[in-house]
Chain A
């Protein structure tokens, strides 16, 4: 077991961890943050996407120990209190999800991307989300939802 210290959704966590544990397993199984789903375990579907120091990361293909000392944000940490993130609101408005299994990863990738590029073109959004698989929606409403996020509104929400 190795000692590790990190921030998860703003909370500092000091823990002992088996060095072989992936970040996804640590978040999902150990911390019970079940929004971080395993879809393939190989970094190919994006269901497990979280943010590490603001950057979108597929948590099933990095070890928990690799984020030692860093700040992790999961889907559970995205809303500010009762106020949903504009991306979450946009997904609700557009019906940009069906079964919901890929949704946390899809939203985390979108949030991270929009922080870097607040007013993207459709093409840029499609490239940014191309590593997140969804079988239900054909991505149409997802892309529309991300396109609809108003950069000005976001600043207010923050």
Chain B
């Protein structure tokens, strides 16, 4: 079943697997690409939001009278029955478009204005007076998790609407828990009895931001019939469609959602709040015609108020035998969420999947929680919880390896899952490239070879490695239409969002492969709920696999229609026909063929028609329901679509005088099933490892004081620059192809798996360099210096992450 085709651009296919140029590339490099933020309409109004200055407060009154009379102000809205009748949310409907009753974080939207210019809207926002009664907030994850938390954010949580397909589970005694998930595999009090060594540790990760280069934006327009069209930067057009229509009790077909061909990145963080507020402002206009409203967050607003990757607490207890065999694993994880659950409800649950599938562990226990705190929403972020949980697991693995005196690479190779192994869900694993990834990463970092020591005695070098994996979710569905035009070109109608990952390019290659036409003859429409059918969303690295399968099925349907018409014209049986280069051929008689255009009848006045059927339009759905895990044990024969494995290794140089850490070498090996386009796969690897992996490990943290973000500018919130990444020769990416039996041409996915092992690989390298085990990220120069000082003073070689604290102390608290 395995196809190993590492870095191999040539294969048996004509179009897939090739390094095709990005089909939207010319637009992007010439400035022709139009993003949502570039949209201008005649008579457009600009929206601005009045935000809460308090992390937790009751709204006593809102006075909008001064704002309303400011010249140029057209709409002022507050959270009331008209603007925000119902709560919405990805899994738990816990958020109003504008706050009602209480504000729950600094930045929570309480009112909004639409005006002739941004400046007027901003001035009007300042004129809105809100009286609050401050309430006690909760920020700390342990405190929020407790049975008697200092604040309960959603007193009425149990009565909120929740999603039926993957319903959240609350924790009876812990009122701030918005989701609880558990796994129990052959687990009882004897689980660790065969272990020669048991190591228990606590790890944490800081809150970080996605920093999509295009800030969130929405444009809402209402036509003469009252129909609402919202164009936005969302990665889930149908999710946003549901949020907009259901929270306003609007019949779903009265709402249309469009996403432009160009969206400036997502990485999981495109919760559609700007779009929602634009919609409310547009709908609140009285009279006709209604004017378009654009809501565009400033960079500061985006950094301060939009979705983050949550602070995470990971406690892990792992037992192993002397020979290195893993025996048992026990984990508790807490996603320290925000005021609204958002996609965090699912992140909290699905962060369990990485640890569940990484290693063969016969006894496994896991409890995963998501908790509310008085901060902005924390939700999906590249890796969906697994970079956070694996951060704990992969540091702990190195610590055990050291105690057992086994090489960390060997330790992983002997325990990692392989084809046919059972994971913690007791699912039989298929398409597992763990070993190959580890071997490739070890090869590229020259594992076992000591790094060259610099002349300067204050520079310490070290190497580290880590293994990870990322599942893709179930239940899942993608639908698409494939239209064959009279000119022989083929058009794809899909709601997958081109966020930069290259989906338009690889989908074009897939269609090229199916129709044997050049990529230049394929066109991919941008998502538009009026003409592109349902897709679950551009998330979970699911597009290549799910939409790819839908595309293949829809191409088969379109070709069937095409061949049925051609068969009549050529007077042969349908199954003898094939298509290539916009012609239909008889298989064994290539002389007998027709141009696709010849199947259409040119009509008087203009246009072409078919005798029946309307047009050649292939339709298909790829639906994978999976099997919901048992609520008590997590047992499931299909909890995920597939698993992408990844191994990463780092070499670091630590300056013990300044604390500065330089990643001198970084390598990644990713098992994507089958690369549809190696340039696009490498692009995902590069960004995941170099920007987000290094950023999250060493640089990035949303610093919060009493709920206020202290660093909402790029001067203070540091994402990696060209100078923070290793030189081109010191970075290597390997593509491992372990075909999946259900994937299109064996493909799985890549994007989300690209940073799940970066931080532990770097931290393990830092330990190798200076002998200090960091229990939290980011590992900043300040922390390195503090840790070195502490080590010198007390000999203590562990630092941060509240590593002395235990959630088990909270059992009855």
Answer yes or no: are A and B bound together in one complex: yes
Jot down 5 A-B pairs with beta carbons below 8 A, ordered by A. Answer: A74-B31, A100-B24, A136-B683, A138-B725, A140-B731
A9 CB to closest chain B CB, in angstroms?
A: 10
CA distance A102 to B264 in the complex (A): 9
> Which residues on the B side are within 8 Å of A34 (C-beta)?
31, 34-35, 38
- CB-CB contacts of A48-59 with B at 8 A, as 1s and 0s? 000000000000
Known contacts A75-B30, A130-B721: A95-B213 contact under CB 8 Å: no
B28 located at the interface, meaning its Cβ lies under 8 Å from any Cβ of chain A in the complex: yes
Partner of A141, one of B26, B298, B686: B686
Whether the Cβ atoms of B690 and A39 lie closer than 8 Å is no
Most buried by B among A44, A91, A138: A138
Chain B interface, >50% SS class = loop
A38 to B30, CA, bound (A): 16
Write out, one digit per residue, whether chain B residues 716-729 have a CB within 8 A of any chain A CB (1) or not (0): 00011111010110
Going nearest first, the 7 A-B pairs with the smallest beta carbon separation are A35-B31, A138-B690, A99-B500, A98-B500, A100-B28, A101-B264, A75-B31
Return the chain A residue nearest B267 by Cβ: A135
- Most B CB atoms within 10 A — which of A40, A93, A94? A40
B21 touches A95 (CB 8 A): yes
Using A40-B714, A140-B731 as known contacts, say yes or no to A135 and B691 having CB atoms under 8 A apart.
yes
Residue among B21, B22, B213 making CB contact with A39, cutoff 8 Å: B213
Is A88 part of the contact surface with B, judged by Cβ < 8 Å?
yes
Assess the B21–A93 pair: CB atoms within 8 A.
yes
CA distance A41 to B21 in the complex (A): 31
The minimal Cβ–Cβ distance linking B355 to chain A, given in whole angstroms, is 26
B499's nearest neighbour on chain A, judged by CB, is A99
Residues of A within 8 A of B24 (CB): 100
The reply to whether A143 and B500 contact each other, CB–CB distance below 8 Å, is no
B605 at the interface (CB under 8 A from A): no
CB distance from B346 to the nearest CB of A (A): 23
B713 interface contact, C-beta 8 A = yes
On chain A, the residues within 8 Å of B691 by CB distance are 134-139
The answer, yes or no, to whether A76 is at the interface (CB within 8 Å) is yes
In the bound complex, residues from chain B placing their C-beta under 8 Å from that of A126 are: 722-723, 727
**Which of B31, B267, B692 touches A76 (beta carbons < 8 Å)?**
B31
- A103 and B683 contact, CB distance less than 8 A: no
B299's contact among A39, A79, A123, by CB below 8 Å, is which? A39
- Cβ 8 A contact of B722, one of A36, A98, A130: A130
CA distance A90 to B686 in the complex (A): 18
When the two chains form their complex, are residues B728 and A95 in contact, meaning their CB atoms are under 8 A apart? no
Give bound CA distance, A31 to B304, whole Å.
31
For window 100-157 of A, CB contacts with B under 8 Å fall at 100-104, 107, 122-123, 125-127, 129-144, 147
Assess whether B35 is in contact with A92, with CB atoms less than 8 Å apart: no
- Tell me the chain B residues, 685-727 only, with Cβ under 8 Å from chain A: 686-692, 694, 713-715, 719-723, 725, 727
| B682: interface (CB < 8 Å) | yes
What is the bound-complex CA distance between A47 and B262, given in angstroms? Answer: 15
Q: Is the CB of B728 within 8 A of A144?
A: yes
Contact assessment for A101 and B31 in the assembled complex, using a CB-CB cutoff below 8 Å: no
A84 within 8 A of B: yes
- Assign chain B's interface to a size class: 35 or more
Cα A102 to Cα B687 in complex, Å, equals: 14
Give the residue name and chain of the B residue nearest to A106 (CB).
B29
Whether the Cβ atoms of A104 and B31 lie closer than 8 Å is yes
| Chain B minimum-CB-distance residue to A103 | B28
Q: Nearest chain A CB to B767's CB is how many angstroms away?
A: 24
Question: Measured between C-beta atoms, what is the minimum distance from A74 to chain B in Å?
Answer: 7
Per-residue CB contact flags for chain B residues 290-302 toward chain A (1 = under 8 Å, else 0) read 0000000011000
**Contact between A97 and B25, CB atoms less than 8 A apart:** yes
Contact A135 B212 (CB under 8 A): yes
Roughly how many angstroms separate A64 CA and B811 CA in the complex, as a whole number? Answer: 62
Q: Does B680 contact A (CB under 8 A)?
A: yes
Residue B760 lies at the interface, judged by CB distance under 8 Å to chain A: no
Option from A40, A76, A133 in Cβ contact (under 8 Å) with B30: A76
| Contact of A88 with B500 at beta-carbon distance under 8 Å, contacts A42-B714, A44-B715 already known | no
B744 interfacial contact with A, CB 8 Å: no
- Residue in A41, A99, A107, A141 whose beta carbon sits within 8 Å of that of B212 in the complex: A99
A140 to B33, CA, bound (A): 22
A36 to B35, CA, bound (A): 11
**Shortest Cβ distance from B21 into A: residue:** A92
Does any Cβ of A come within 8 Å of B32's Cβ? Answer: yes
Q: Taking each of B31, B40, B680, which has the highest tally of chain A beta carbons within 10 Å of its own beta carbon?
A: B31
